[in-house]
């Protein structure tokens, strides 16, 4: 069932324009359908804040559960923000105090950029611990991705992520299901792709020693999906099931720009498993042109985004939607619908 545009958050109208089903609040209140109120703790940096917001909202909205989904975005204090982004957050996001007062049925936590040697030195660390303590106290199911997974595993199980020996893991990798009977994997393909973009990893052995269950992994990318010892309370994604088809392309474009500006010394490699033959040829030709232009002290050519984007395939979205759908189904089954509705936030 659809998302409900219960605030003026611009993402609702953007999703509607992209063909997603989004009800107005007036339409929603005239339907005799249960509500699910899902918090979105968005810790992404300014450049990715609204894109990540829409990616997770689309995943939730594409669920076929018989419910109306009210998304409540919020963030934590201390993250570096521009004045423009601060204004956006002040206008459209909730405070955690509001979330805590009115309650949630489920919580999604995004990744974040880091700049310190250890996650417990990051500005989001203490506020995130407070959010998780509240969620566990209130038995709110949690789903997190990538950096949020690394942070929660460190906080709850004292398992620190480790730098990957090969550098950055970046691309789309084949994965397989390792626990077919788990309810999160109901009707999910046993083999599929998942995007990853990270320099660090958490590995199977320490997770299993802590009592977590590994559900999906990859020979190349390692663990993708694990669940807390109670099998449902916290769902840990190490990859990025929320990514759009062009998310890695935009990251690649950003890295090319960093090379042109001198911020990085090496030209970025193609994301693994992402470009087909034609796209790889275009990317290689652009690299040659950029390197030649820099050598000749000329302006670098424009990035061929319009040529590359139509050549990209999405080989992960259906599986991501199915897993989130199953998660929301479990949330629906365990939600106390006798509690007061939280439309006021």
Phi/psi of residue 120, each to 5°? -75, 0
146 is catalytic: yes
242 is catalytic: yes
Report DSSP state, residue 274. Answer: T
- How is residue 228 written in tokens? 């807390």
* H-assigned helices in 114-263: 125-137, 147-157, 204-209, 247-261
Task: Please tell me the distance from the alpha carbon of residue 4 to that of residue 12, in angstroms, as a whole number.
Answer: 8
Q: Give strand pairing partners of 327.
A: none
Task: Please tell me the distance from the alpha carbon of residue 60 to that of residue 37, in angstroms, as a whole number.
Answer: 11
Q: CA 249: distance to chain centroid?
A: 16
Task: Please tell me the distance from the alpha carbon of residue 114 to that of residue 151, in angstroms, as a whole number.
Answer: 11
Task: Please tell me the distance from the alpha carbon of residue 141 to that of residue 136, in angstroms, as a whole number.
Answer: 8
Catalytic residue (choose from 146, 182, 217, 286): 146
205 is catalytic: no
Catalytic residue (choose from 53, 122, 217, 242): 242
Catalytic residue (choose from 6, 240, 255, 286): 240
Q: Give strand pairing partners of 201.
A: 162
Q: Active-site positions? A: 146, 240, 242
């Amino acid at each position: 069932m659809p998302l409900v545009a219960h605030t003026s958050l611009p993402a609702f109208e953007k999703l509607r324009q992209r063909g997603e089903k989004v009800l107005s609040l007036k339409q929603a209140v005239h339907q005799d359908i249960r509500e699910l109120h899902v918090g979105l703790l968005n810790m992404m940096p300014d450049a990715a804040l609204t894109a990540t917001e829409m990616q997770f909202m689309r995943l939730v909205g594409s669920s076929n559960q018989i419910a109306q989904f009210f998304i409540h975005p919020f963030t934590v204090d201390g993250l570096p923000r521009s004045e423009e982004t601060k204004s956006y957050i002040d206008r459209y996001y909730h405070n955690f105090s509001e979330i805590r007062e009115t309650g949630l049925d489920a919580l999604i936590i995004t990744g974040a950029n880091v700049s310190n040697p250890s996650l417990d030195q990051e500005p989001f660390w203490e506020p995130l611990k407070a959010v998780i303590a509240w969620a566990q106290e209130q038995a709110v199911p949690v789903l997190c991705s990538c950096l949020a997974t690394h942070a929660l595993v460190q906080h709850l199980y004292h398992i620190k992520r480790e730098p990957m020996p090969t550098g950055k893991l970046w691309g789309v990798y084949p994965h397989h299901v390792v626990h077919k009977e788990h309810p999160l994997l109901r009707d999910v393909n046993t083999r599929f792709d998942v995007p990853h973009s990270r320099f660090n990893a958490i590995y199977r052995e320490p997770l299993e020693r802590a009592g977590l269950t590994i559900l999906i992994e990859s020979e190349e990318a390692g663990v993708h999906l694990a669940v807390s010892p109670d099998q449902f309370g916290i769902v840990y994604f190490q990859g990025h099931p929320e990514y759009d088809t062009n998310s890695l392309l935009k990251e690649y474009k950003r890295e090319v720009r960093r090379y042109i500006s001198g911020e990085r010394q090496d030209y970025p490699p193609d994301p693994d498993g992402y470009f087909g033959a034609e796209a790889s040829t275009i990317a290689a030709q652009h690299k040659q042109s950029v390197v030649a232009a820099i050598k000749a002290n000329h302006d670098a050519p424009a990035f061929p985004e319009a040529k590359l984007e139509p050549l990209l395939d999405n080989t992960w979205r259906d599986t991501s939607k199915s897993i989130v759908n199953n998660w929301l189904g479990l949330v629906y089954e365990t939600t106390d619908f006798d509690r007061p509705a939280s439309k006021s936030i």
